[in-house]
Chain A
Amino acid sequence: MPENPQPTAADSGAGAPDDVARVEAVMAEPVSRGEPILSVRNLVKHFPLTQGIVFRRQVGAVRAVDGVSFDLHQGETLGIVGESGCGKSTVAKLLMNLERPTAGEVLYKGEDITRLSGRALKAVRRNIQMVFQDPYTSLNPRMTVGDIIGEPFDIHPDVAPRGDRRRKVQELLDVVGLNPEYINRYPHQFSGGQRQRIGIARGLALNPEIIICDEPVSALDVSVQAQVINLMEKLQDEFNLSYMFIAHDLSVVRHISDRVAVMYLGKVVEVGTDQEIYEHPTHPYTQALLSAVPVPDPSGRDQRERIVLTGDVPSPANPPSGCRFRTRCWKAEERCAAEIPLLAVPERFKDSDTPAAHESACHFAEEKDVVHA
């Protein structure tokens, strides 16, 4: 067992340069590295729990996000997976500056955007946009499609001259595969998949560099999911977008992501390329998560090992000491309760060249191929 894995700088992120080199050697498709376009450092968001009506006092805090760090590069898709309530959506809201973080930084091209306000914040918003989970509530039912997609131009008038906006809106409708003549229709006249396309068109309007997708397909039915995912991939190629793709569907995330971060109870437990995470998971939580992916082949289904976790996710208001996963982990020992495992390449894989050598926040990280078991 490795003792005290060395924490990398500010933990997580892309790691030390030599890790990057190794990762690149392993990866099938090369992803352009270099300066990350967005880097998140130790992001923390605690929602206060208050008591009393007139004189409120804080009795605790829900630790929705508790020290999350990662990098997003130009043109890359970073998938974030985790079960409900692990803080995925809160991370998205923090990145969008829709919530103020309790601590930590979100650096967009080196500038901390969490402290911005007014004009400077508005300027940054042009470059970071969001696609929402529920296409039924994310479009104003009392605005026409033209108004919805044209609203970004009203808010940022310098993007498109007034006379040009209608043409731009029709162009966007066309880009996402909707009939440009639908400009005067209302959201309720569209299906879920079409609405999500409208949401994507709104996100694209300002020509952003980063699009944060908060479960963009989980409200859609499976056939439509595929269309929307393919559309998003096409747009990524066309506009060189960086996606942060939040989902709880592991297959969808694998399909679209270059790198994947696994979250549990407000923390990132494992980060790596999609191949590293899906084929060579080292964190027990990731292994359990992957073992729950449905297998379409009945014979393969019998062969693989199914890791069934017992118990519920602990309350984020009162998370377990040490490793947050220890209450449900079959490997947990005393050390796990005493010592918080850092997100770093595990000591035992440090000098090896295997794909298992990626960041994993576990004292007893070891490879286990659950999918092919």
Chain B
Amino acid sequence: MPEPYETPSDALTPSTVGKAAEADLVGVPGTVAGPDPTLAFEGTTGLGTGTAPDSRAAADGEVATPGPPVAEPGPGLGPARGLWQDAWCDLRRNPVFVVSAVLILFLVLISAWPTLIAPGSPLQCDLADSRRGSAPGHPFGFDSQGCDVYTRTVHGARASVTVGICATAGVALLGSVVGGLAGFFGGWGDALLSRLTDVFFGIPMLLGGLVFLSVVRSGSVWPVVGFLVLLGWPQVARIARGAVIGAIQQDYVLAARALGAGNARLLLRHILPNAVAPVIVVATIALGTFVSLEATLSYLGVGLKPPTVSWGIDISAASTLVRNAPHMLLYPAGALSLTVLAFIMLGDAVRDALDPKLR
């Protein structure tokens, strides 16, 4: 009977723990060339994040410390961190995140207080200025009604950013909670959800918008937000469901369950961090879609209604006149693109920060 794992058994008693390393290697040559391949194999893993001295990393595969059970904290050993702290540390140093966060903060700021940078009223127009280009005090020029494009673009941020952020947040939250729970628990609830999402996928966005929103008299953003969430969540729910089903089959979920972890812990600590990435990607891309969808709905007369000021309304009004007065389209459309870009960059940075392998 071949015995490739012969090891002097006395070398494995607790009193000689320190020698176990050598014992391991003595026992191995029957199957591999010698101790060197072992060390080389383990040594390749000493990739440091710079937190621990790597001198010990080379020999870490072995029982390295025969001394007291707790090693004195090394110089690079900071406080214990988790995924979220690590992600935050990573984000703060990521220029993409900083730029997009500053941009988004600025957008939120001018949405709340547009008069900070545009003291005029967006509804104070003079037909005499219709479609005029940029003029002193009016850097972006005037639109068909003779309103100042700069003022309208700044004031339009509120409606567009509200629609974009609220609809995205609603879709992401509703979709990932419903889809995630369906994927986690499975069974008839999951089957029901899958058929329900099929039904929602069958409704065309524009036709649905015309039907649902034409009965609403209010000119505020909330019916539009509600409609976008209603038709948008199934997409996120499907993606979240798939991601959760993918994560739930991993052994680490089984391991946590074997430790006695409850459903809440499994979902929040193990499945959520591993399933959130595709949801973030889809949600940030959807944000741009929602802002432009709001524009389309407003153009069709069922979204926001004048005198509400929004980028969508301005873009649709300008789109027919793009050859005569391109500035009318350029500025609100540019603001919209910048907003979408900021959110996509933010989503990208967050997703990368939550993946330790990319650090």
Is the C-beta of A308 less than 8 angstroms from some C-beta in chain B? no
Are B61 and A177 touching (Cβ within 8 A)? yes
On chain A, the residues within 8 Å of B17 by CB distance are: 234
Are B274 and A184 touching (Cβ within 8 A)? no
Q: Which of A58-66, A168-176, A354-362 contacts B (4 or more CB under 8 A)?
A: A168-176
Are A144 and B274 touching (Cβ within 8 A)? no
B62 to chain A, nearest CB (A): 6
Are B71 and A191 touching (Cβ within 8 A)? no
Interface of A is mostly: helix
B1: nearest chain-A partner, CB-CB: A371
* A/B pair count, beta carbons within 8 Å: 223
On chain B, the residues within 8 Å of A191 by CB distance are: 41-42, 44-45, 61
Is the C-beta of A104 less than 8 angstroms from some C-beta in chain B? no
The interface on chain B, measured as residues whose beta carbon lies within 8 A of the other chain's beta carbons, has a size of: 73
Give the most central of A133, A183, A233: most B CB within 10 Å. A183
A181 and B80 contact, Cβ closer than 8 Å, known pairs A140-B270, A223-B28, A226-B28: no
On chain A, the residues within 8 Å of B76 by CB distance are: 181
Are B80 and A231 touching (Cβ within 8 A)? no
Is the C-beta of A21 less than 8 angstroms from some C-beta in chain B? no
Are A180 and B254 touching (Cβ within 8 A)? no
Are B20 and A231 touching (Cβ within 8 A)? yes
A125 and B63 contact, Cβ closer than 8 Å, known pairs A54-B191, A184-B51, A254-B3: no
Question: How far is B51's CA from A126's CA once the two chains are assembled, in angstroms?
Answer: 32
A233 to chain B, nearest CB (A): 6
Are A142 and B83 touching (Cβ within 8 A)? yes
A98 and B254 contact, Cβ closer than 8 Å, known pairs A146-B80, A189-B45, A224-B41: yes
Q: How large is the interface on A (under 10, 10 to 19, 20 to 34, 35 or more residues)?
A: 35 or more
A194 and B259 contact, Cβ closer than 8 Å, known pairs A137-B251, A141-B356, A227-B24: no
Residues 11-46 of B at the A interface (beta carbon under 8 Å): 12-14, 17, 20-21, 23-24, 27-28, 30-32, 37-38, 41-42, 44-45
On chain B, the residues within 8 Å of A139 by CB distance are: 252, 255
Is the C-beta of B269 less than 8 angstroms from some C-beta in chain A? yes
Would you give the 0/1 interface string for B44-86, flagging 1 where the beta carbon is closer than 8 Å to chain A? 1101010111001100111111000111011011101111001
Which A residues are closer than 8 A to B by beta carbons?
54, 93, 96-98, 121-122, 125-126, 129-130, 132-134, 137-144, 146-147, 150-152, 154-156, 166-167, 170-171, 174-175, 177-186, 188-191, 193-194, 199, 202, 206, 221-227, 229-231, 233-234, 237-238, 251-252, 254-256, 278-279, 293-297, 371-372
